[in-house]
Structure 1
Amino acid sequence: MLRSANFLWKTSAACRAGSVTSVRSSHAQADFRRLLQEQLNNIKVAGTWKAERIITSKQGVEISVHGSSKKILNFCANNYLGLSSHPEVVDAGKKALDEFGAGLSSVRFICGTQSIHKKLERQISEFHGREDAILYPSCFDANAGLFEAMLGPEDAIFSDELNHASIIDGIRLCKAKKYRYKHRDLSDLENLLKEAGDFRTKLIVTDGVFSMDGNVAPLKAICDVAEKYNALTFIDECHATGFFGKTGRGTEEFFGIDGKVDIINSTLGKALGGAAGGYTTGPKELIDLLRQKSRPYLFSNSLPPPVVACASKVFDLLLSSSELCEKVAAGTARFRSAMTKAGFTIAGEQHPICPVMLGDARLASQFADKMLFEGIYVIGFSYPVVPQGKARIRVQISSAHSNEDIDRAVDAFIRIGKELKVIS
């Protein structure tokens, strides 16, 4: 009885101590909440608040949006090839779910590698014409895991100033000497290479296509400069793989320099099925090293089997035909031509990313809301996603868009553009 009473007293004391700790914690949390709310209020006042619209259907050209009873035409997904809900792709995922399960509950080197992972890596390297490939949970992870594993203090990186955030974060993690050159400025890049002098390895890093502006890296010239200064080249092809270039091989193919780039990172989460996953492809020795040293690979669960199977089916489709690539190119030309003729300023070049430049953040948000009312789903982009004063609506063309879909979107842009005095 005495032991029970003693236990109850200790438990009660512990609870009382815990309640004091909780009170102390709540004061700190209240202050923290106020600090956060001030930041949130400032974002709203600046007109850069990013609301998340809720889609109640599968991804596709036509989607259902919470709060609207009608079908909406989607013009802002990275679903460039229209394959996110393609019947063959979905069916491949279902079959893999039955055969290989929902997930691996492990990382690759422990017990997380299945035959379908190896098959997909072979397909990726074959598609790009490289020796080997390695899968990651996302291309953000691929970019985060590459530079630290392959470069050290004896090396140097030369990075375009507008490279994707994941590239910037990945470079921060490595110990190489870091140089940043002006956006697509070959003269500045060459000057930096001259200034840098001798390093064990020099790596030039660029997006193939820059996602906010839809413009393309001058890749042929970059490769020429790399050769002149004995440097390696890396490109992030997230907004190129599968649909850019005549057969979807990306920026290299667009410039007719297949095989010139040393290392390619890309994603499975855009044109290649739209689910998740990323990869690095390049020399076998590099891929072997990443399997040994790349932290996102070593410490992240394997890609789920249904995701792997969906992406694998997409590569089957791409390796058998370039019809979808041709269709998205034709739709892109149609949209860009009609919008430019109407008086809009469209950034980028020959790419399905078609930024409609508006400048003002509030205007971009208001314009996008009015487009939704017209049955067209687009999103206004503003700071900090894009520089201040360069707000825009980023339209993305898919091979699944018909000519009628594109014309309907253009008509809506023209109506609202005149209403908001963007065009006359």
Structure 2
Amino acid sequence: MNGTTQALFDTLNQGLADIDARGLRRRRRIIDGANSAHMTVDGRELVGFASNDYLGLAAHEAIRAALAEGASLYGAGSGGSHLLGGHSRAHAQVEDDLAAFAGGFVDDARALYFSTGYMANLAVLSTLAGRGTLVFSDALNHASLIDGVRLSRAQTQIYPHADMTALDAMLDASRDETATKLIVTDTVFSMDGDIAPLARLVELAEEYGAWLVVDDAHGFGVLGPQGRGALAHLALRSPHLVYVGTLGKAAGVAGAFVAAHASVIEWLVQRARPYVFTTASPPAVAHAVSASLKIIASDEGDARRAHLGSLIATTRAMLKRTRWLPVDSETAVQPLVIGGNDETLQIAAALDKHGLWVPAIRPPTVPQGTSRLRISLSAAHNEDDLARLDHALNTL
């Protein structure tokens, strides 16, 4: 390796050394098996609190069978983009199913299916916003929303987390602006587990003539009647709403979708670069999502949500007994704030020795000084799993 080449690698290695020095190195773990709560990780049996499989559907026999059936019907891949030969009957069907399932917040709803939630957020924000657009974004929004806003090149204002007084003042100051306005928020915030003040956000969007883009990644399938999401949970309706839901968490499969008025969806089909210029996801995955939606909306789905609700209540009480700072969350995301990076890593490692996988979340995912354990609950957990976690946390 010559000197010029070596210099390239030296820059990377110095950067990696800096990551190590700050306790920020991330490591992948190898999982065997399909159960997201009781798994073999790096060859060891662990109880996992790391997955977003909130309803425990990733291993569901009916969904696995639907995935296999979809592969038999459509093959392994789509073969092209949605606009050039890759849009299958399975894709068309799942979009109809998703519009019916989650589109009750707006008349004439349509849905558009994407390969990932990150791609869906990039598509919505880079297409509805642009130079000359005003975007108002919650300070704790997910990275995909932040990157979508950046990609749009819109003028952006960040309002303090869930602070509706501050957002109202920002919007009022722009009242005379003729530019298109967007308000952007998560519904359930992925590292705190709290729910955005959605009813007030709808009021502000309507008052100031703004689109309201909501990312319901951690609410879809869990919140609302039949798991229809955070908007259904609060019985909200507005033509200003643009809804993004992901399908690799509570739905147990993969992909994401945008639901909105038909005109919004048609605009995305025509202009959203992350949709137009990518190969469509495998049709078998879309076929499996349609099967998942039936389970989510069924009596079985209700039972899984009820069990998850019981686990959430137990965990909230348990975390209050620890010596650290729980975040008061009523959702399946149950954070326990430790503070420093090194201490958080040490506690996660100690829990691992107890056979418990609880991820250590550090900056830049969360603000400096708020490193935490992120306990993610699933309907695949049981009360014995929580008892093990309770015992381990109180013996550290």
TM-score, normalization: structure 2?
0.94
What is residue 101 of structure 1 aligned with on the other side?
Answer: 75
The code of the aligned residue for 1:241 comes to F
Cα distance, 1:343 vs. partner?
4.3
1:282 aligns with 2:256: no
Question: Identical aligned pairs, as a percentage?
Answer: 30
Aligned-partner Cα distance in 1 for 2:259–2:346: 42
Partner of 2:226, secondary structure, is coil
Judge which range, 183-192 or 341-350, deviates more. 341-350
1:97 positional shift: 0.9
2:234 to 255, 264, 275: 255
User: Is residue 326 of structure 1 aligned with residue 302 of structure 2?
Assistant: no
Match in the other structure for 1:179: 157
The 1:374–1:47 alpha-carbon spacing in structure 2 relative to 1, beyond 3 Å, is: same
RMSD over equivalenced CA pairs, Å: 1.7
Q: Structure 1 pair 345/63, CA: closer, same or farther in 2 (3 Å)? A: same
Listed one character per residue, the Cα deviations across residues 104-147 of structure 1 (whole Å, up to 9, x for unaligned) are 12100111011111111111111112510101111111111112
Q: 1:53 deviation in Å?
A: 1.8
Deviation of the 1:259 alpha carbon: 5.4
Q: Supply the distance in 1 between the matched residues of 2:148 and 2:223 (Cα, whole angstroms).
A: 25
1:105 aligned counterpart, secondary structure: coil
Distance verdict in 2 for CA 1:144–1:389, change over 3 Å: same
**1:212 has 2:191 as partner:** yes
Counterpart check, 1:390 vs 2:370: yes
CA distance in 2 between counterparts of 1:204 and 1:384 reads 23
Task: Spell out, residue by residue over 1:255-310, the C-alpha distance to the aligned partner (whole angstroms, 9 max, x if none).
Answer: 3435576100121111111x421111101011111111111111111111222122
How do residues 295-314 of structure 1 correspond to structure 2 at under 5 angstroms? 295-314=273-292
Which of 348, 352, 357 is the aligned partner of 1:372?
352
Q: Counterpart amino acid of 1:380? A: A
Deviations 1:330-366 (A, max 9, x none): 2111111122134442114201100111001111111
> 2 CA distance for matches of 1:59 and 1:89?
13
Counterpart Cα distance in 2 of 1:134 and 1:80: 23
**C-alpha distance in 1 between matches for 2:373 and 2:53:** 17
Question: Amino acid of the residue matched to residue 169 of structure 1?
Answer: D
Structural mapping, 1:315-354, within 5 Å: 315-321=293-299, 322-354=302-334
Structure number, greater radius of gyration: 1
* 1:58 and 2:34 are equivalent in the alignment: yes
Mapped to 2, the partners of 1:388 and 1:123 lie a distance apart of 42
* Aligned pairs, number: 389
Is contact 1:243–1:324 with CA below 8 Å preserved after alignment?
A: no
How far 1:206 moved relative to its partner?
Answer: 0.5
What residue is the counterpart of 1:87 in the other structure?
61
Counterpart-to-counterpart distance in 1, 2:240 and 2:295: 25
Counterpart CA distance in 2 for 1:247 and 1:286 is 25
| Cα separation, 2, equivalents of 1:411 and 1:233 | 43
Q: Is the 8 A contact 2:316 2:329 kept in 1?
A: no
Higher relative contact order (CA 8 A, sep 6+): 2
CA shift for structure 1 position 250: 2.2
Letter in 1 for 2:28: E
The aligned amino acid for 1:202 is K
Q: CA separation in 2, counterparts of 1:245 and 1:360? A: 36
> Which amino acid letter does the alignment assign opposite residue 272 of structure 1?
A
**1:166 pairs with 2:144:** yes
Secondary structure, counterpart of 2:213 in structure 1: strand
Greater shift, 386-395 or 150-159, is seen at 150-159
- Shift, 1:155, TM fit: 2.9
Is residue 261 of structure 2 the alignment partner of residue 267 of structure 1?
no
1:394 is displaced (CA, Å) by 0.0
What is the CA–CA distance in structure 1 between the aligned matches of 2:228 and 2:70, rounded to whole Å? 26
Distance 1:42 1:279 in 2: 38
Deviation at 1:67, TM superposition (A): 4.3
Partner SS for 1:399:
coil
Query: Is residue 246–residue 325 contact of structure 1 (8 Å, CA) maintained in 2?
Result: no
CA distance in 1, matches of 2:59, 2:271: 35
Q: Displacement of 1:254 after TM fit?
A: 3.4
One-letter identity of the residue aligned with 1:389: G
SS in 1 for 2:209: coil
* Matches of 1:28 and 1:91, distance apart in 2: 53
User: Tell me, what secondary structure is at the counterpart of 2:32?
Assistant: coil
User: How far 1:175 sits from its partner (Å)?
Assistant: 4.0
Give the structure 2 partner of residue 3 of structure 1.
Answer: none
| Native 8 Å contact 1:223 1:233 kept in 2 | yes
- Report runs of 4+ in structure 1 exceeding 4 Å deviation: 258-261
- Cα distance per residue 1:82-108 (max 9 Å; x no partner): 011111111110111111100012100
2:297 counterpart SS class:
helix
Question: Is 1:117 aligned with 2:96?
Answer: no
Give 1:2-17 correspondences, 5 Å limit: none
CA distance in 1, matches of 2:43, 2:285: 30
Instruction: Work out the CA distance in 1 between the residues paired with 2:91 and 2:169.
Output: 42
CA distance in 2, matches of 1:173, 1:48: 26
**Structure 2 vs 1, CA of residues 152 and 384 (structure 1 numbering), >3 Å: closer, same or farther?**
closer
Note closer, same or farther for the CA distance 1:333–1:406 as it changes in structure 2 (3 Å cut).
same
Using the size of structure 1 for normalisation, the TM-score is 0.88
Q: Deviations over 1:164-205 (max 9, x none)?
A: 111111111224332221111111101111111322422111
Please name the residue that 2:271 is paired with: 293
CA–CA separation in structure 2 for the residues paired with 1:297 and 1:204:
22
